[in-house]
């Protein structure tokens, strides 16, 4: 208890307040690092503003793409049959009309031989008796049958429709082939390499010939090929039409899940470089293509409402 009943303060508190002691000084900051930190913050702010005003963000139309050999010829079978022999090999240069392969034709050749013998016999008979009108009529009918049998035998010999280099040989001896199946592919001198890209359909109004297209070969990361778009299809097509266009051989290698627009571009050369190696393109190789369709500033990308202001300023 305090000895002075008139005071409202405790004596201990009064003595502590009256006793001299060291008091804390005002907080002092080092001027060296604060000045440095200040200008760093100012520089970062100015850089951010400059990047937001001058920097741009690009939008790309991206989709699958395949290497396409335009002018490549597929030789199909005209009849059902069994392969008897293959007369060419991949990479071989051939002339127009060269034999590519032959089907088994024993029954057809036997029929042709029979008709040829009968025709020769009837021809001798007609020469001996030129006035025999029945023999002349029979000769005409037999000659037509012989020509038909000759055409059937000729159908079993597959010939090159034009000059070129043999690409793929997709048959083997003894294999049964149905009419319409691909036997051999030919690469003609007029064959031209192109990249066929399937880009999302909603980008069609923004795509045009002359734009830049970048193609990354599948399985070779960062193996980019820069090229110029040569044509853009006028219509939007679905996955089924894309498969029909690509053909049975490579349709299953490309995954298309929605409507697309077909874009064609031509690389500057028929090869690409990976790890100091030069590799060739081949028909059906796939990858990813992307075309830059739009660019805008960083500020507009971060604040989309500024796009209205930017459009108004353009007008």
CATH of the domain at 105: 2.40.50.100
Positions of E strands within the chain: 56-76, 81-86, 93-94, 99-103, 157-159, 164-169, 176-177, 182-200, 212-217, 224-232, 260-266, 271-274, 277-280, 286-297
Listed residues 183, 204, 222: the one ending a domain? 183
Q: Specify whether 194 is located in the same domain as 249.
A: yes
Q: Reply yes or no on whether the pLDDT at 24 is more than 60.
A: no
What is the pTM (predicted TM-score) of this model? Answer: 0.62
In this structure, the number of other CB atoms found within 10 A of the CB of residue 31 comes to: 8
Q: Are residues 172 and 224 in the same domain?
A: no
pLDDT, tens only, 244-296: 888 877 888 888 888 999 999 988 888 888 888 888 888 888 999 999 887 76
* Residue 257 belongs to a domain: yes
Tell me how far apart the alpha carbons of residues 81 and 175 are, in angstroms, rounded to a whole number: 8
Containing domain of residue 302, as a range? 57-70+189-314
* Final residue in a domain of this structure, among 183, 214, 245: 183
Q: Do 178 and 249 fall within a single domain?
A: no
69 — pLDDT class (breaks 50, 70, 90) = confident
User: What backbone torsions phi and psi does residue 228 show, to the nearest 5 degrees?
Assistant: -110, 135
pLDDT in tens, 78-101: 888 888 889 989 888 989 889 999
- List, for residues 151-169, the tens digit of each pLDDT value: 888 888 899 988 888 888 8
292 and 209 assigned to the same domain: yes
Residue 1 has pLDDT above 50, yes or no: no
Do residues 169 and 89 touch, judged by C-beta distance below 8 A? yes
Residue 46 has pLDDT above 60, yes or no: yes
Domain ends where: 125, 149, 183?
183
The total number of structural domains that make up the chain? 2
Selection from 159, 218, 160 nearest residue 187 by Cα: 160
Regarding whether 283 and 264 lie in a shared domain, the answer is yes
On the question of pLDDT at 181 being above 60, the answer is yes
CA 240, CA 196: separation in Å to the nearest integer?
Answer: 16
Cα angle 13, 19, 20; round to 5: 140
- Residue 9, domain member (yes or no): no
pLDDT tens readout for residues 50-61 = 777 676 777 889
* CA 257/CA 259 separation, integer angstroms: 7
CATH code assigned at 282: 2.40.30.170
Q: Is residue 110 part of a domain?
A: yes
Both 193 and 310 in one domain: the answer is yes
Q: What is the mean pLDDT of the chain?
A: 81
């Amino acid at each position: 208890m305090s000895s002075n009943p008139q005071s409202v303060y405790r004596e201990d508190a009064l003595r502590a307040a009256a006793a001299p002691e060291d008091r804390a000084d005002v907080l002092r900051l080092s001027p060296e690092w604060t000045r440095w930190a200040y200008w760093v913050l100012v520089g970062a702010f100015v850089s951010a503003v400059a990047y937001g005003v001058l920097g741009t963000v690009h939008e790309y139309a991206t989709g699958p793409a395949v290497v396409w050999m335009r002018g490549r010829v597929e030789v199909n079978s005209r009849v059902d049959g069994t392969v008897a022999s293959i007369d060419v090999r991949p990479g071989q240069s051939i002339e127009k009309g060269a034999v590519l392969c032959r089907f088994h034709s024993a029954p057809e050749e036997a029929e042709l031989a029979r008709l040829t013998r009968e025709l020769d016999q009837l021809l001798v008979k007609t020469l001996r008796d030129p006035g025999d009108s029945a023999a002349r009529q029979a000769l005409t009918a037999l000659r037509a049958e012989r020509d038909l049998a000759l055409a059937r035998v000729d159908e079993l010999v597959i010939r090159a429709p034009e000059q070129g280099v043999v690409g793929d040989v997709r048959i083997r001896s003894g294999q049964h082939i149905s009419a319409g199946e691909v036997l051999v592919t030919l690469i003609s001198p007029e064959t031209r390499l192109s990249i066929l890209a399937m880009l999302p359909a909603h980008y069609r109004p923004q795509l045009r010939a002359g734009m830049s297209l970048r193609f990354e070969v599948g399985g070779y990361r960062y193996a980019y090929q820069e090229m110029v778009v040569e044509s853009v299809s006028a219509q939007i097509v679905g996955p089924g039409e894309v498969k029909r266009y690509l053909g049975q051989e490579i349709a299953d290698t490309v995954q298309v899940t929605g409507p697309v627009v077909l874009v064609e571009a031509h690389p500057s050369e028929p090869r690409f470089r990976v790890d100091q190696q030069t590799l060739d393109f081949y028909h059906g190789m796939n990858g990813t293509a992307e075309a830059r369709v739009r660019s805008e500033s960083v500020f507009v990308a971060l604040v989309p409402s500024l796009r209205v202001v930017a459009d108004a300023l353009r007008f």
